[in-house]
Amino acid sequence: MKLMKNAEQDPSSVTNWQWLREIVVEACQPIGPYWPMKTFAYYNPIRDLEHLPFAQAIAEAHQLLGAKGFLPVEEYRQFFHQGRITLSAVEQALRRVGPTMPSRATIRVGARTIHVQDVWRIHAAYGIEILPTVLLTWTLELEGLTTRFRSDLPEDSRTSIIDRTIRECEKCRHDPESAYLRNLWKSSLAACQLSDPVSGTASSHAPGPSRSSDASRKEADFVPVDLPVDRTLGDWLDSETGSVLVETINTHMIKWIAAFVDEGVAGWSMPSRDKGFYAAWRELSEGDLSGRFLGIPDLRHKFRELSDAPEEMLCKHLQDLNIPKERWQGYLSRHLAQLPGWAGFIRWRGDHSGYP
């Protein structure tokens, strides 16, 4: 609570950066230090979360570090399809740790009543997952989302759907799967009042444009995005666009860190190393031409404009990214976790200042 209260100060008026250093120290706590390698045996990703109940520590480690305490859900679903997990076990698990929903919540679809428990049970066994934006066109056009059933659809459900489609549409007999799925896709778009994201055609219920396309594009440029709490902006962009931003950042971070922590064995040690990492990097970075290959214009000029205080630059960039101040600690933890190995080494070096 004290850290967050301090973080509400106006950074432009701050001369003492101790409050920000405290946030950084707290952000480092989930990063397990492991060094020296001659005595290193294993890495426990929840080492500094052992004060929490196990399930909570696993959830916290996943949010902050991306660590996974359980198998991927898809593997559990495969166990279900193989008969290694029974339907009664799924229902029991949902009763124990599933979402708390009204037990009698239902919706009517035609003549059928669907209970909320049915939806959660189907989701647990088969998955009703959000499709990443970068995979939408691929899934629709190349994987045949609107032409072929999923491979894990039970055979009795497949047969029932095909029989009903043929009964209701005789001309669909030659390809009932495609007919049913295309109609389902169009109905879903109409219900949500959306246009087809692949063809660009509007559904019969989709609202028409009320302004010019130029105005719409300008508005789209400023659509606010609520960044997930377990993501940095870099890995969120990677997941949504297929970019390699985190890998690119790590490549350059490792280059500079390796030069700084050479442990005194390099034949040519890093100049200005005695001034600290930030000061040494800032002094040498103007001669680094790799930014040109990344398409960053005027990089040398940008380096010259950097403040002498690393705390000031960290604060400024967190603000520029519109990261809420109450999320700075968790955001920094996640950023550090994206530099595996090196972040743990740096933390260990911070705890052992006498190490060469």
- The whole-angstrom separation of Cα 311 and Cα 18 is 9
Mean pLDDT value across residues 162-167:
91
- The whole-angstrom separation of Cα 159 and Cα 206 is 32
CA 2: distance to chain centroid? 28
Q: Say whether pLDDT at 217 is over 70.
A: no
Q: Say whether pLDDT at 5 is over 60.
A: no
Q: Say whether pLDDT at 58 is over 50.
A: yes
Split at pLDDT 50, 70, 90, the class of 96 is confident
Q: What is the predicted pLDDT for the residue at 261?
A: 85
Q: Which residue has the higher pLDDT, 271 or 43?
A: 271
- The whole-angstrom separation of Cα 12 and Cα 214 is 37
CA 258: distance to chain centroid? 27
Mean pLDDT value across residues 113-122:
85
Candidate ranges 143-152, 221-230, 244-253; pick with highest mean pLDDT: 244-253
Structure tokens at 309: 């205080």
Structure tokens at 291: 């930014």
Q: What is the predicted pLDDT for the residue at 12?
A: 47
- The whole-angstrom separation of Cα 46 and Cα 61 is 6
**Which burial class, exposed, middle or buried, applies to 166 when counting CB atoms under 10 A from its CB (0-12, 13-18, 19+)?**
middle
Instruction: Specify whether the CB–CB gap between 354 and 41 falls below 8 A.
Output: no
Question: Which region among 169-178, 193-202, 329-338 has the lowest average model confidence (pLDDT)?
Answer: 193-202
Closest by CA to 280, choosing from 296, 303, 263, 297, is 303
Q: Say whether pLDDT at 208 is over 50.
A: no
Q: Which residues contact 323 (CB under 8 A, 6 or more apart)?
A: 227, 331
